[in-house]
Amino acid sequence: MKLIEKHKQLITWYQKKLGLSDYELLWLVFCKGVFVALVIERLIVH
């Protein structure tokens, strides 16, 4: 449980630091995931 609470605090800290709403944060994380997946796919395929 300690790890989960620390993770929640870290997310809240980043959200406040960047001035993002919950919706904006979700889109940011989604786009980051797509970007990482594309980079990994390019490294494996080529």
Q: How far is the C-alpha of 29 from the C-alpha of 33, rounded, in Å?
A: 6
Task: Give the total number of structural domains in the chain.
Answer: 1
Contact 36, 44 (CB under 8 A): no
Per the domain annotation, does 41 fall within a domain? Answer: yes
Residue numbers of the domain that contains 39: 21-46
Per the domain annotation, does 8 fall within a domain? Answer: no
| Average pLDDT, integer, range 6-33 | 96
Per the domain annotation, does 5 fall within a domain? Answer: no
Contact 28, 20 (CB under 8 A): yes
Between 14 and 1, residue with greater pLDDT: 14
Per the domain annotation, does 31 fall within a domain? Answer: yes
Residue 45's pLDDT band (cuts 50, 70, 90): confident
Per the domain annotation, does 1 fall within a domain? Answer: no
| Average pLDDT, integer, range 22-42 | 96
